Amino acid sequence: MHRFLDLTLNGVSSGMIYAAVALALVLIWRATRIVNFAQGAMLMFTTFIASWAIDRTGSYVVGFVVALAAGLVIGAIAERVLVRPVEGGPPLNAVIVTLGLLVLLEALAGMIWGNIPRSFPPAFTIRGFDVGGSRLLFSPFDLFTVGAVLVVAVGLGLFFTRTNLGLRLRASAFDPEVSRLLGVRVSRMLTLGWALAAAAGSLAGVLVAPAVELGPTNFDVVLVYGFTAAVLGGLDSPTGAVTGGVVLGLVLSYVSGYESSALVPLASLVLLIAVLMVRPGGLFSHAAARRV
């Protein structure tokens, strides 16, 4: 029972990280119908910037804020400079551009900070909580992880549903042409959408870095799990992205704990294929068809 509790809590905490990456992918997919393959590299880059800020100031809080701000900026620049020219073009062009950005950022990070992975501090201790004389795997940092992602997810949810700007962002995602007719500056909304998505991604980078260490290619696997979580949730649904992340985290945690950690990547793919076979639109797909 103790082991089950450990694995469950551990699954929720790593699932929240996948959820943040999935949220980043879903926000961009909804707004531009582009899968951002560079998301893993973007969050790697912002985590390096956070690491640099922590080294300079000695403050984790500063590094954390810098990471999110860098995410906003990198997301906005990526959209304005690289993605804008291929928006509305053949989907393959956008795929190639985001893959190119992935390679570019990984190479740049290697040139600036070197290819040897370095450690990245957690916000709080990773020593598990003591409950009734026995120690859990679940640590204060895990609690922080869950809380931070929840705050960002709920904040984004409120922003999209409760503000005029959020309303215009959603409208632009549904139908850019009609939105323009109604006076919405769609191009600005797309830039903002990419910025918010990249900020959600950079949160995941800071949270996962203590576990995977910080190196130019160390976050590639995070993108794979984030993508799986996004597809589980249906690619179009932010709520689905968060749920998909937690479901994936739990499944992978149980597989790793009860079977073998070597099976984790395999389990992720099996889950992905199973969902695509049973519910191709994802767990949160709507019955109504949507024009793509």
Partner 1 sequence: MLPREESGESTLRVVDVAVRFGGLTALSGVSLDVAPGEIVGVIGPNGAGKTTLFNVVCGFVRPDAGEISWRGHSLARVRTHRLAGLGIARTLQGVGLFPGLSVLENVMIGAEPRARARFATTLLGLPRSDRDERALRAAALAALGRLDVAEVASRAPGTLPYPVQKRVALARALVAEPALLLLDEPASGLGSADMKGLAEVIAELKGDMAVMLVEHHMDFVTGVCDRVVVLDFGRVIATGSPAEIQADPRVLEAYLGFETSERAAEREIREPEPGRA
Considering the complex, what minimum distance in angstroms separates the CB of residue 58 from partner 1? 34
Nearer to partner 1, 185 or 279 (CB): 185
Could you say whether residue 272 binds partner 1 (CB under 8 A)? no
Taking Cα atoms as reference points, which of 193, 252, 183, 243 lies closest to residue 222?
A: 252
Query: What is the residue type of 245?
Result: G
Q: Where are the alpha helices (DSSP H) in 185-237?
A: 186-212, 220-233
* Token digits of residue 49: 């910037």
Nearer to partner 1, 118 or 170 (CB): 170
CA 187 to chain CA centroid, Å, is: 23
Given the structure tokens 């000695």, which residue do they identify? 58
Considering the complex, what minimum distance in angstroms separates the CB of residue 290 from partner 1? 6
- For helices 91-113 and 39-57, give the axis angle rounded to 10 degrees: 30
Nearer to partner 1, 119 or 161 (CB): 161
Given the structure tokens 């009734």, which residue do they identify? 132
Q: How many residues interact with partner 1 (rule CB under 8 A)?
A: 23
Considering the complex, what minimum distance in angstroms separates the CB of residue 47 from partner 1? 29
Nearer to partner 1, 175 or 220 (CB): 175
Nearer to partner 1, 85 or 114 (CB): 85
Binder among 73, 108, 171, 263 for partner 1 (CB under 8 A): 171
Binder among 46, 98, 179, 268 for partner 1 (CB under 8 A): 179
Could you say whether residue 186 binds partner 1 (CB under 8 A)? yes
Binder among 91, 135, 174, 280 for partner 1 (CB under 8 A): 174
Residue 14, CA distances (Å) to 20, 176, 184 in order: 10, 35, 38
Element (H, E) at 135: strand 134-135
Could you say whether residue 292 binds partner 1 (CB under 8 A)? no
Nearer to partner 1, 135 or 185 (CB): 185
Q: Are 233 and 29 in contact (CB under 8 A)?
A: no
All residues at 6 or more sequence positions from 183 whose CB lies less than 8 Å from its CB, including other chains: none
Could you say whether residue 127 binds partner 1 (CB under 8 A)? no
Q: Are 74 and 98 in contact (CB under 8 A)?
A: no
Considering the complex, what minimum distance in angstroms separates the CB of residue 163 from partner 1? 4
Helix (H/G/I), strand (E/B), else coil: 214: strand
Could you say whether residue 136 binds partner 1 (CB under 8 A)? no
Q: Are 10 and 137 in contact (CB under 8 A)?
A: yes
Considering the complex, what minimum distance in angstroms separates the CB of residue 164 from partner 1? 4
Residue 191, CA distances (Å) to 64, 81, 87, 158, 271 in order: 22, 10, 12, 19, 33
Could you say whether residue 165 binds partner 1 (CB under 8 A)? yes
Could you say whether residue 32 binds partner 1 (CB under 8 A)? no
Residue 212, CA distances (Å) to 8, 12, 122, 225 in order: 20, 17, 12, 13
Considering the complex, what minimum distance in angstroms separates the CB of residue 167 from partner 1? 6
Considering the complex, what minimum distance in angstroms separates the CB of residue 177 from partner 1? 7
Considering the complex, what minimum distance in angstroms separates the CB of residue 69 from partner 1? 18
The site for partner 1 (CB under 8 A) is made up of 159, 162-165, 167-168, 170-171, 174-175, 177-186, 288, 290
